[in-house]
Amino acid sequence: MSTIKGLHHITAIAGDAQENLDFYVGTLGMRLVKRTVNQDAPDTYHLFYADRDGSPGIDLTFFPWPKLPARRRGWGVWDEVMLGVPKGSLEYWVDRMNAFGVSHSGIETRFGERVLPYEDPHGLRSALVECETYDAFTYRPWPDSPVPQEYQIHSLAGIRIFVRDEAATADFLARAFGFRFETAEQEHWKRYIVGGGKAGQRIELCVQPEIARGSWGTGAVHHVAWRAGDEAEQAELASAAASAGAQPTPVIDRFWFKSVYLQEPSGALNEIATDGPGFAVDEAPEALGERLVLPPKFEQHRDTIEGGLPPLSVSQALGR
């Protein structure tokens, strides 16, 4: 049976698009690797932040919907996003977040790793985690980042979720994706891992049967995507998810990768995404994210789509 390699990307809901860009490029030092639109609602951006090349496993993406109410934490909605950074780098990040006025709670230890929890400007719960990447993972630092290469975010480290029924979710994760309990628990959180349990290969569950269901809004994670090397592996994983009780969608061509969507038992949205063809299929690698790129089916509507989107400036984000 195939198992997922790890996280492919995480997509969240933001408020103002330029504020989102200012934070993820200007403060966190990630590269805007794709400036496009939500393919199911093309009147809003879909912004992808990653390393130099937009490698699978580091992409953090956003739908800016500033008119939505704030998200409500609860079961059935993905919670905290964890981003991987090099070991020994969190003191740098504390100083940087203090300098930029980012709300954080200081360095703590979780499951033997140093972690810096914080919130982004629109309320997305996040944490920087000092952790290692797995062997099949590729990361390339962005030379133009305002963050020195030795401190840059190098991966998606993991994701947290509240559930009402741990057994149902744990059984699904095992049967569909190959996750297993790591026999560790800290402050009511339990870690499930796949592969070697390194960056991008962790889910942390907290059982909260008494709380209300969560809801999407600004600051919420919309969905979590898992890596499939190719379409054959994706089909095998989708079949395993169906056998575990999910109802996978047909394959949807997202142009830069192909996607299958499904819900785990508590209702949180998952995606199985192929590694390729990648973000350089329609832009030169050195020019990623510099202009609005539309999948071919939207090109005939470019004038209307562009006219309805607010302007974005990477130069402003970088203070240039």
- Angle at the Cα of 37 from the Cα atoms of 33 and 41, rounded to 5 degrees: 150
Q: What span, in angstroms and rounded, lies between the C-alpha atoms of 96 and 98?
A: 5
Residue-wise pLDDT tens digits, 7-38: 999 999 999 999 999 999 999 999 999 999 99
- How many residues in the chain? 320
pLDDT exceeds cutoff 90 at 5: yes
Which of helix, strand or coil describes residue 273? strand
- Residues whose CB is less than 8 angstroms from the CB of residue 232 and which lie 6 or more positions away in sequence, other chains included: none
Q: What span, in angstroms and rounded, lies between the C-alpha atoms of 267 and 177?
A: 16
Residue-wise pLDDT tens digits, 101-153: 999 999 999 999 999 999 999 999 999 999 999 998 999 999 999 999 999 99
CATH class of the domain whose range is 7-317? alpha beta
pLDDT exceeds cutoff 90 at 2: no
Residue-wise pLDDT tens digits, 173-216: 999 999 999 977 898 999 999 999 999 999 999 998 888 999 99
pLDDT given at position 184:
76
Q: Structure pTM?
A: 0.98
pLDDT exceeds cutoff 80 at 170: yes
Of 6, 14, 5, residue with least CA distance to 221: 14
